[in-house]
Structure 1
Amino acid sequence: MKGRKQGPKVVLNSLPKFGTHLLESLFLQLPFMRHCGKKTLRLETQNPIEPKVKVLSSIKNGQFLLSHMQYHEKALKTINTNNTKIIHLVRDPRDVLLSHLNYIEKMDTT
Structure 2
Amino acid sequence: VDVVYDGVGKATLMKSLQVVRPRGTVVSFGAASGVPDPVPITALTGSKFLTRPSLAEHIHTRAELERRSKDIFGWMASGQLRLDRATRLLLEKAAEAHRRLESGQTVGKLLLGIGDVPADEL
Q: Please report the TM-score for the alignment, with normalisation by the length of structure 1.
A: 0.38
Q: Please report the TM-score for the alignment, with normalisation by the length of structure 2.
A: 0.35
Give 1 or 2: higher helix fraction.
1
Higher relative contact order, structure no. (Cα contacts within 8 Å, ≥ 6 residues apart): 1
Specify the structure having the higher radius of gyration (Cα): 2
